[in-house]
Chain A
Amino acid sequence: MPLPAPLTENQVYHGCPEDKLDFITTEDLQDLERPYGQDRVLRALEFGAGIQADGFNLFVLGPSGAGKHELVERFLSLHAARQPVPPDWCHVYNFQFSDRPNALKLPAGEGRQFKKDMNDLAEELRTVIPAAFESEEYQARLQELQEEMAKRQHQGLFEIQEEANRNNIAMITTPAGFTFAPMRKGEVIDPEEYKNFSDEEKQLVESKVEELQKKLQQTIQQIPRMRKEVRERVHALNEEMVQLTLGGPIGELREKWSQLPDIVDYLDAVREDVVEHAEAFQDSDNGPPAGLLARYKVNLLVDNAETVGAPVIYEDLPNHQHLAGQIEHRARQGNLYTDFTLIRGGSMHRASGGYLIIDARRVLTQPMAWESLKRILSSGEIRIESLERLYGLVSTVSLQPEPIPVSVKVVLLGDRMLYYLLSHYDPDFLDLFKVEADFEDDLDRNDECYDLYARMIATMARALKMRPLERSAVARLIEHASRLAADQRKLTAHDRVLRDILSEADHWAGQAGADTVEASHLQQAIDEREYRASRVRERSREQISRGVVMIATAGEEVAQVNGLSVLRLGASMFGQPTRITATARPGKGQVVDIEREAKLGGPIHSKAVMILSRFLASRYAGDGELSLSASLAFEQSYGGVEGDSASVAETCVLLSAISRVPIKQSFAVTGSMNQHGEVQAVGGVNEKIEGFFDVCKEAGEINGQGVLLPASNVEHLMLRADVRQAIAEDQFRIYPISDINQAIELLTGLEAGKPDDGGEFPENSFNRRVAERLAKFAEASKKRDSNGDANNGGGRDSD
Chain B
Amino acid sequence: MAMQTMAGAGTVTDAPETRAGQSNEAGRVLVLLDGSRMSYAALEAAAEIAAFTGADVLGVFVEEVNLLRSAGYGFAREVGASSGVSRPFDPAGIEQRMQRLASQARRALAGAVAPHGVRHSLSVAKGHVIDEVLALAGPGDLLVLGRVGWSSAPGARLGSTAKGLVHRSPGRVLLWCDNRALPQGRVVVFLNDHRDANRRAVQAAAEVIRHSRRPVTLLLGAGPDMPPEEREGILRDLGIQESDLHVRSLPSTDPVKVAGILRQERAVQLVLSRNCTLLQEPGAEQLLMALNLPVTVTP
Q: List 17 A-B contacts (CB under 8 A).
A: A139-B260, A143-B259, A153-B155, A165-B2, A170-B1, A170-B70, A172-B67, A173-B152, A175-B35, A176-B78, A177-B82, A179-B79, A181-B69, A186-B4, A190-B72, A191-B72, A220-B84
Q: A170-B66, A179-B78, A209-B75 are in contact. Are A150 and B260 (CB under 8 A)?
A: no
* Interface pair B154/A183, CB less than 8 Å apart: no
Q: A172-B66, A180-B76, A217-B79 are in contact. Are A147 and B290 (CB under 8 A)?
A: yes
Residues of B within 8 A of A150 (CB): 155, 157, 289
Roughly how many angstroms separate A149 CA and B155 CA in the complex, as a whole number? Answer: 9
Minimum CB–CB distance for A172 against chain B, Å = 5
Roughly how many angstroms separate A633 CA and B85 CA in the complex, as a whole number? Answer: 112
Residues of A within 8 A of B86 (CB): 213, 217
Q: Mark A162-197, 1 if CB is under 8 A from B, else 0.
A: 000100001111111111111101111111101000
* Interface pair A216/B76, CB less than 8 Å apart: no
Q: Which of B76, B84, B157 contacts A218 (CB 8 A)?
A: B84
A161 in the interface, Cβ–Cβ < 8 Å?
yes
* Interface pair A220/B79, CB less than 8 Å apart: yes
* Interface pair A181/B66, CB less than 8 Å apart: yes
A154 in the interface, Cβ–Cβ < 8 Å?
yes
* Interface pair B154/A157, CB less than 8 Å apart: yes
* Interface pair B80/A220, CB less than 8 Å apart: yes
A144 in the interface, Cβ–Cβ < 8 Å?
yes
* Interface pair B97/A181, CB less than 8 Å apart: no
Residues of A within 8 A of B75 (CB): 206, 209-210
Residues of B within 8 A of A153 (CB): 154-155
Count residues on chain B whose CB falls below 8 Å from chain A CBs. 49
Q: A175-B97, A176-B81 are in contact. Are A140 and B35 (CB under 8 A)?
A: no
Taking Cβ atoms with an 8 Å cutoff, the residues of B that contact A are: 1-4, 6, 35-36, 64-67, 69-73, 75-87, 89, 94, 97, 101, 150-157, 180, 182, 256, 259-260, 263, 289-290
Q: Which of A178, A182, A187 contacts B78 (CB 8 A)?
A: A178
* Interface pair B154/A181, CB less than 8 Å apart: no
* Interface pair B78/A173, CB less than 8 Å apart: no
Residues of A within 8 A of B155 (CB): 149-151, 153-154, 157, 223
* Interface pair B69/A191, CB less than 8 Å apart: yes
A200 in the interface, Cβ–Cβ < 8 Å?
no
* Interface pair A157/B76, CB less than 8 Å apart: no
> From residue 306 to 333 of chain A, which have CB atoms closer than 8 A to chain B?
none
Minimum CB–CB distance for A226 against chain B, Å = 9
Residues of B within 8 A of A170 (CB): 1-2, 66, 70
A221 in the interface, Cβ–Cβ < 8 Å?
yes
* Interface pair A187/B4, CB less than 8 Å apart: yes
* Interface pair A179/B70, CB less than 8 Å apart: yes
* Interface pair B4/A154, CB less than 8 Å apart: no
Residues of B within 8 A of A154 (CB): 153-156
A763 in the interface, Cβ–Cβ < 8 Å?
no
A136 in the interface, Cβ–Cβ < 8 Å?
yes
Residues of A within 8 A of B151 (CB): 173-174
CB-nearest residue of chain B relative to A192?
A: B72
Residues of B within 8 A of A219 (CB): 84
CB-nearest residue of chain B relative to A209?
A: B75
* Interface pair A161/B4, CB less than 8 Å apart: no
* Interface pair B4/A178, CB less than 8 Å apart: no
Residues of B within 8 A of A171 (CB): 1-2
Of A143, A176, A177, most B-chain CB atoms within 10 Å: A177
CB-nearest residue of chain A relative to B160?
A: A173
Minimum CB–CB distance for B68 against chain A, Å = 9
Count residues on chain A whose CB falls below 8 Å from chain B CBs. 50
Residues of A within 8 A of B73 (CB): 181-182, 191, 194
A-B complex: 4 closest residue pairs judged by Cβ atoms: A181-B70, A191-B72, A173-B151, A220-B84
* Interface pair A179/B80, CB less than 8 Å apart: no
Q: Which of A139, A188, A206 contacts B66 (CB 8 A)?
A: A188
| New A-B pairs, 15, CB < 8 Å, besides A165-B2, A177-B80, A191-B69 | A136-B260, A150-B155, A173-B67, A173-B150, A174-B67, A174-B94, A175-B35, A175-B36, A177-B82, A218-B84, A220-B82, A220-B83, A223-B82, A223-B154, A285-B182
Q: A140-B260, A170-B2, A218-B84 are in contact. Are A175 and B150 (CB under 8 A)?
A: yes
Roughly how many angstroms separate A207 CA and B182 CA in the complex, as a whole number? Answer: 52
Q: Which of B71, B81, B263 contacts A178 (CB 8 A)?
A: B81
Minimum CB–CB distance for B72 against chain A, Å = 3
Residues of A within 8 A of B101 (CB): 175
Residues of B within 8 A of A189 (CB): 69
Of A151, A158, A172, most B-chain CB atoms within 10 Å: A172
Roughly how many angstroms separate A549 CA and B271 CA in the complex, as a whole number? Answer: 117
CB-nearest residue of chain B relative to A155?
A: B155
Of A154, A183, A188, A216, most B-chain CB atoms within 10 Å: A188
Minimum CB–CB distance for B262 against chain A, Å = 11
Of A147, A185, A187, A216, most B-chain CB atoms within 10 Å: A187
CB-nearest residue of chain B relative to A191?
A: B72
Minimum CB–CB distance for B95 against chain A, Å = 12
Residues of B within 8 A of A185 (CB): 4
Roughly how many angstroms separate A595 CA and B290 CA in the complex, as a whole number? Answer: 110
Q: A143-B256, A189-B69, A216-B84 are in contact. Are A181 and B76 (CB under 8 A)?
A: yes
Roughly how many angstroms separate A154 CA and B285 CA in the complex, as a whole number? Answer: 14
CB-nearest residue of chain B relative to A181?
A: B70
Roughly how many angstroms separate A113 CA and B63 CA in the complex, as a whole number? Answer: 70
Q: Which of B2, B64, B263, B289 contacts A183 (CB 8 A)?
A: B2
* Interface pair A144/B72, CB less than 8 Å apart: no
Residues of A within 8 A of B76 (CB): 179-181
Residues of A within 8 A of B70 (CB): 170, 172, 179-181, 188
Roughly how many angstroms separate A144 CA and B81 CA in the complex, as a whole number? Answer: 25
Roughly how many angstroms separate A150 CA and B260 CA in the complex, as a whole number? Answer: 18
Roughly how many angstroms separate A188 CA and B72 CA in the complex, as a whole number? Answer: 10
Residues of B within 8 A of A176 (CB): 78, 80-81, 150
Of A136, A151, A176, A186, most B-chain CB atoms within 10 Å: A176
Of B69, B259, B263, most A-chain CB atoms within 10 Å: B69
Q: Which of A149, A194, A220 contacts B81 (CB 8 A)?
A: A220
Roughly how many angstroms separate A387 CA and B101 CA in the complex, as a whole number? Answer: 61
> From residue 199 to 219 of chain A, which have CB atoms closer than 8 A to chain B?
206, 209-210, 213, 216-219
Minimum CB–CB distance for A234 against chain B, Å = 15
Minimum CB–CB distance for A468 against chain B, Å = 76
Roughly how many angstroms separate A172 CA and B89 CA in the complex, as a whole number? Answer: 12
Residues of B within 8 A of A209 (CB): 75
Roughly how many angstroms separate A144 CA and B290 CA in the complex, as a whole number? Answer: 10
CB-nearest residue of chain A relative to B6?
A: A187
CB-nearest residue of chain A relative to B101?
A: A175
Residues of B within 8 A of A149 (CB): 155
Residues of B within 8 A of A186 (CB): 2-4
Residues of B within 8 A of A179 (CB): 67, 70-71, 76-79, 89
Residues of B within 8 A of A172 (CB): 1, 64, 66-67, 70
Roughly how many angstroms separate A186 CA and B65 CA in the complex, as a whole number? Answer: 12
